[in-house]
Amino acid sequence: MSSSEVYTASTTAPVNIAVIKYWGKRDPKLNLPTNSSLSVTLAQSDLRTHTTASCSPSYPPQDSLLLNGSEQDVSGPRTQACFRELRALRKQLEDANPELPKLSSLPLKIVSENNFPTAAGLASSAAGFAALVRAIANLYELPSSPTDLSRIARQGSGSACRSLFGGYVGWEQGSAADGSDSVAFQVAPASHWPQMRALILVVSAAKKGVSSTTGMQTTVATSSLFPARANETVPRRMKEMISAIENRDFEAFGKLTMMDSNSFHATCLDTYPPIFYLNDVSRAAIKVVEAINKKAGRIVAAYTFDAGPNAVVYYLEEREKEVAGLFKAVLGEKDGWQGERGERVQRDAEGLEHIR
């Protein structure tokens, strides 16, 4: 290879929002979870991270990562684990095929951009690590399957393993000590239930107070509600959720989604010291969803909240007017941002005050 040659590959990975939450690690180093989880990929709203990975003998010797134009620290154990695993796979290929260029020994340059406003306050680490892992795998021309890549992305951020697939995606907690069976799997492609929509309600764009990593470790260590959630409630709901998706049963899907979000936030409150991710505006959004469902006489909208106050509301396209329409009427269009399909409404805390 010539000393100025640049090898490059690009990819995108979507944001996913869990409807059965991952919360708790049984092995923090390998990012092995205490329970399985399941998410919906927000492909319709097309929230994605676009990543280009390149390597060249002409690059400065250190690996680098530019996210939305700002230089990131790559020395942390999670990014390092992803780089190390991918390089090792490339090295195996190079050893087996001596004619291949020795990319595994070249410095990497990663450039990532989120196509959604960073101010949306969405957890971007899932899409970010999934795109990073796949971009490097493409650059290295690895024959790895999405399942193999999910095993690597999981070490970057647990929820990232689910962004290697589209549609409805589970993450099997696994039981092997080395994490080999803790991988993502597709429950159904998005085309199985294309009417699904998600409205993202941005209550606050501020960075979360307690990071997921720290929060879940403290929950595992202190919450007395947690063992029942991880060992009984979630395993049961995983099965119920998979059949709700298979049967396209929105009432069951919605009820499980809301109950799992409530259960997760209950264990957060039961953590010592307590963790409060929901705020008054989040609770107001819950009330709006409850009012919508009451009026419809059945569950037509379902809220869920990750480690922050922003709501994601799932509904079916046919209920667009009742759900997105009502939220929009309450919030007004002023600060709203509308995707091609599915809706996203962005508004600050004050904007929602009058819902209550």
Judged by CB, which is closer to ligand DP6: 56, or 263? 263
CB of 29 to ligand DP6, least distance (A): 11
Q: Using alpha carbons, select from 230, 214, 236, 308 the residue that is nearest to residue 267.
A: 230
* Residue number, 264 or 315, with CB nearest to ligand DP6: 264
Contact window for ligand DP6 (CB under 6 A) among 3-11, 14-22, 139-147, 252-260: 14-22
Task: Please give the C-alpha separations between residue 145 and each of 1, 50, 122, 253, in angstroms, as whole numbers.
Answer: 28, 20, 27, 29
Least CB distance from residue 254 to ligand DP6, whole Å? 18
Site for ligand DP6 (CB under 6 A): which residue of 14, 15, 22, 30?
A: 22
Residue 17, strand partner residues:
40
Amino acid at 264: F
In the list 31, 35, 45, 182, the residue contacting ligand DP6 (rule: CB under 6 A) is 31
DSSP 61-72: SS-EEEETTEEE
Classify residue 208 by its DSSP letter.
P
Residue 49 sits in the site that holds ligand DP6 (CB under 6 A): no
47 contributes a contact to ligand DP6 by CB under 6 A: no
Place of tokens 């909208």: 301
Contact between 245 and ligand DP6 (CB under 6 A)? no
Q: Can you tell me which of 8, 10, 80, 213 binds ligand DP6, judged by CB under 6 A?
A: 213
Q: How far is it between the farthest Cα atoms of the chain?
A: 68
Map tokens 């002409």 to a residue.
58
In the complex, the smallest distance separating the C-beta of residue 212 from ligand DP6, rounded to whole angstroms, is 4
For ligand DP6, give the closer residue by CB, 21 or 197. 21
Yes or no: say if 201 and 336 are a contact pair by the CB < 8 Å rule: no
Q: Which residues pair with 314 in a beta bridge?
A: 198, 302
Write out the H or E segment, with its range, that includes residue 126.
helix 125-139
Select from 212, 257, 261, 282 the one that contacts ligand DP6 (CB under 6 A). 212
Judged by beta carbon, residue 293 or residue 304, the one nearer ligand DP6 is 304
Q: Which residue has the tokens 């180093």?
A: 29
- Choose which of 35, 79, 144, 159 interacts with ligand DP6 (CB under 6 A): 159
Binding flags for ligand DP6, 289-318, as an x/- string (CB under 6 A): -----------------xx-----------
Stretch that binds ligand DP6, among 21-29, 40-48, 101-109, 242-250 (CB under 6 A): 21-29
Share in percent of the chain as helix, strand, coil (round to 5): 45, 20, 35
Nearest partner of 50 among 128, 124, 166, 145, judged by Cα: 128
18: contact with ligand DP6 by CB under 6 A: yes
From 20-28, 90-98, 231-239, 252-260, give the range in contact with ligand DP6 by CB under 6 A. Answer: 20-28
- Of 31 and 257, nearer to ligand DP6 (C-beta) is 31
Residues of this chain, 139-158, that bind ligand DP6 according to CB under 6 A: 157-158
Query: Any bridge partners for residue 65, and if so which?
Result: 72, 110
Q: In Å, what is the CA distance from 97 to each residue of 8, 145, 260?
A: 20, 20, 49
Element at 96 (helix H, strand E) = helix 77-96
Q: Pull the structure tokens for residue 275.
A: 């963790």
Contact 136, 116 (CB under 8 A): no
Please select the residue that binds ligand DP6; options are 13, 89, 108, 123, rule is CB under 6 A.
Answer: 123
Is 21 a binder of ligand DP6 (CB under 6 A)?
A: yes
Q: How far is the CB of 286 from ligand DP6 (least distance, A)?
A: 17
Q: What gap in Å lies between CA 17 and CA 76, rounded to an integer? A: 25
In the complex, the smallest distance separating the C-beta of residue 96 from ligand DP6, rounded to whole angstroms, is: 33
Total of chain residues touching ligand DP6, rule CB under 6 A: 15
Q: Catalog residues that contact ligand DP6 under the rule CB under 6 A.
A: 18, 21-23, 31, 37, 123, 125, 157-159, 212-213, 306-307
